[in-house]
Structure 1
Amino acid sequence: MPTTLVLLLFAYLLGSVSGSLLLGRFRGVDIRTRGSGNAGGTNALRTLGWKFALGVVVIDIGKGVLATWLALTFAPADGPWAPRALGFAAAFVAAMGHVWPLWHGFRGGKGVGTLLGGLVVLWPLALLPLFLVWVCVLVASGYVGLASIIATACLVPLAVWTKVDLPAQVFSVAAPLLVVFTHRANVRRLLAGTESRFERVRFWRRRA
């Protein structure tokens, strides 16, 4: 039990290392004072450019990968959870650290990249279908938040269709719930018609 708790605590602390805030310190910028005020990859792209955003995404996905791999690798044989279950729990806890980072006043990003890092280790076959859904929704609507919500929600039917194990089933429900919660402001803006679009990615609109 102590080892399990230590691994989960480390996952949270690792998740609390925000890519945008860490890189922003090197540039003397707090991204939470720019654009939407969110410490995530989308706001990084809009306000500081693609190179900065790429670094943010690599860090945010990477910490999800590392937290999950460590839990999977060092899960105690006599622990309360099987290694795979602990791995999914660590991925989710790391995402919570990203959303509520200890090192940054509990004001972080939205957790999508860190959850994705967990899938890289534990459920890689889910990556391609989720990515395709995300791209299709983004190109059709121009809304990054909506694309993230719908793509993550596709974990549920994917889990049913592929008949995954119980830890993956639980994660397939918990992850979309967290993403919807962290995007609640986006949902309100969508309903109000005030959400910002990425018009550059709406290729079909350009041809029309």
Structure 2
Amino acid sequence: MLVLILLIVSAYLLGSVSGSLTLGRLRGVDIRTQGSGNAGGTNAFRTQGAKFALGVVVIDIGKGALAAWLALRFAPTDGPLPVRAVAWLAVTAAAVGHVWPLWHGFRGGKGVGTLLGGVAVLWPIALLPLFLVWVCVLVGSGYVGLASIIAAACLLPLAVWLRAEASTQIFAAAAALLVLFTHRVNLQRLRAGTESRFERVRFWRRRA
């Protein structure tokens, strides 16, 4: 049990290392004061450019992947939970750390990249269908937040369809709810018609 607690706490602390806020300090900016005010890859791209955003995405995805790998490596096989269940808990803790980072005043990003990193390690077969859903929604609507919400919502149906183990299905439900919660402001802006849109990626409109 002690090892389990240490892994979860370590995953949360790892998740609290925000890519945008850490790199922003090196540049002397806090992107929470710019653009949408979100400390994530999309706002980093809009306010700081592609190279900065790429670094943010690498860090945020990497910490989710690292949290999963550490759990797989160090979780005891004879512990109270299966090793993969511990790994999913670690990924969730890292995502929680990203959203509410200890090192940055509990004001972070939305957790999508960190969750994606964990999925890449623990459930890579899900990456392609999730990516296809995300791209289709993005090019159809131009809304990154909406694409992330719908892709995350597909996690649980995909887990059930692929007959994934219980821990994966529980994670899928929890991840979808977390993404929905962290994008609640985006949904409010969508209803109000004020949500920012990437017009350049709206392939269907350009074709029309």
Q: Where on the TM-score scale, by shorter chain, does this alignment land: which range?
A: over 0.9
Following superposition, the deviation at residue 53 of structure 1 comes to 0.4
Q: Deviations over 1:79-131 (max 9, x none)?
A: 21111000000001100000000000000000000000110110000000000
- Normalised by the length of structure 1, the TM-score is 0.99
d(CA) in 2 for partners of 1:203 and 1:149? 20
Following superposition, the deviation at residue 185 of structure 1 comes to 0.3
d(CA) in 2 for partners of 1:187 and 1:202? 19
Identify the residue that residue 134 of structure 1 maps to in structure 2: 134
Structure 1: tracts of 5 or more residues without a match: none
AA partner of residue 130 (structure 2): L
Following superposition, the deviation at residue 77 of structure 1 comes to 2.5
Q: Deviations over 1:127-147 (max 9, x none)?
A: 000000000000000000000
Identify the residue that residue 105 of structure 1 maps to in structure 2: 105
Identify the residue that residue 159 of structure 1 maps to in structure 2: 159
Following superposition, the deviation at residue 191 of structure 1 comes to 1.1
Supply the RMSD in Å over aligned alpha carbons: 0.7
Q: Deviations over 1:131-187 (max 9, x none)?
A: 000000000000000000000110111011100001101011000000000000001
Equivalences for residues 171-182 of structure 1 within 5 A? 171-182=171-182
Matched, 1:62 2:59: no
AA partner of residue 90 (structure 1): A
d(CA) in 1 for partners of 2:111 and 2:172? 14
Equivalences for residues 7-86 of structure 1 within 5 A? 7-86=7-86
d(CA) in 1 for partners of 2:207 and 2:131? 24
Following superposition, the deviation at residue 76 of structure 1 comes to 1.4
Q: For 2:195, what is the secondary structure of its paired residue?
A: coil
AA partner of residue 49 (structure 1): G
Identify the residue that residue 93 of structure 1 maps to in structure 2: 93
- Normalised by the length of structure 2, the TM-score is 0.99
Following superposition, the deviation at residue 78 of structure 1 comes to 2.6
AA partner of residue 130 (structure 1): L
Structure 2: tracts of 5 or more residues without a match: none
Following superposition, the deviation at residue 15 of structure 1 comes to 0.1
Identify the residue that residue 3 of structure 1 maps to in structure 2: 3
Q: Say how many residue pairs are matched.
A: 208
d(CA) in 2 for partners of 1:88 and 1:63? 13
d(CA) in 2 for partners of 1:204 and 1:192? 23
Following superposition, the deviation at residue 204 of structure 1 comes to 2.0
Q: For 1:171, what is the secondary structure of its paired residue?
A: helix
Moved over 3 A (4+): none
Following superposition, the deviation at residue 193 of structure 1 comes to 1.3
